[in-house]
A = this chain, B = another copy of it.
Amino acid sequence: MSDIAAPGGQVSPEHIMQIGMGFMASKVLLSAIEMELFTDLARRPGALKDVQGRLGLHPRAARDFLDALVALGFLQRTDGVYANTPETELFLDRHKPSYIGGILEMANHRLYRFWGEMTEALRTGRPQNEAKAGDEPIFEALYADPARLKQFLKAMTGISHGANVAIARTFPWAQYHSCVDVGTAQGDLVAQVALANPHLSGIGFDLAEVQPVFEEYVEQLGLGHRLTFVPGSFFTESLPKADVVMMGHILHDWDLEQKKMLVRKAWDALPAGGAFIVYETIIDDDRRKNVFGLLMSLNMLIETPGGFDYSGADCMGWMKEAGFKDTRVEHLVGPDSMVVGIK
Contact = CB atoms under 8 A, between A and B. Distances in A.
Interface stretch (A31-39, A132-140, A263-271, A319-327): A31-39
Q: Mostly helix, strand, loop or mixed at chain A's interface?
A: helix
A72 interface: yes
| Residue from the set A65, A122, A289 with the largest chain B CB neighbour count within 10 Å | A122
Given A31-B118, A87-B12, A67 B287 contact: yes
Interface string A298-313: 1101000010110000
A61 B26 contact: no
Contact of A91 (B13, B31, B104, B123): B13
30 contacts: A6-B333, A12-B162, A13-B162, A13-B334, A16-B87, A16-B100, A17-B104, A17-B334, A18-B292, A21-B292, A23-B23, A23-B115, A24-B111, A24-B115, A24-B295, A26-B26, A58-B121, A58-B124, A64-B294, A64-B301, A64-B309, A67-B287, A67-B288, A68-B297, A70-B288, A71-B288, A71-B289, A71-B294, A77-B288, A112-B116
**Identical subunits present:** 2
A267 to B, nearest CB: 27
Nearest to A71: B291
A194 B252 CA distance: 57
A141 interface: no
B4 A287 contact: no
Given A21-B26, A21-B292, 17 more contacts: A13-B87, A16-B87, A19-B26, A19-B29, A19-B74, A23-B115, A24-B299, A28-B295, A30-B118, A59-B125, A61-B123, A61-B298, A67-B288, A68-B298, A70-B287, A72-B291, A113-B116
A60 interface: yes
Contacts of A309: 64
A195 interface: no
A308 B294 CA distance: 36
A100 B13 contact: yes
Nearest to A121: B61
A73 B299 contact: no
A69 B312 CA distance: 20
A6 B336 CA distance: 14
A37 to B, nearest CB: 10
Contacts of A87: 4, 11-13, 15-16
Interface in A259-283: none
A88 interface: yes
A20 interface: yes
Contact of A122 (B18, B20, B61, B104): B61
Contacts of A118: 27-28, 30-31
A65 B19 contact: no
A332 B113 CA distance: 35
Contact of A61 (B31, B92, B301): B301
Given A15-B73, A294-B64, A334-B17, A27 B116 contact: yes
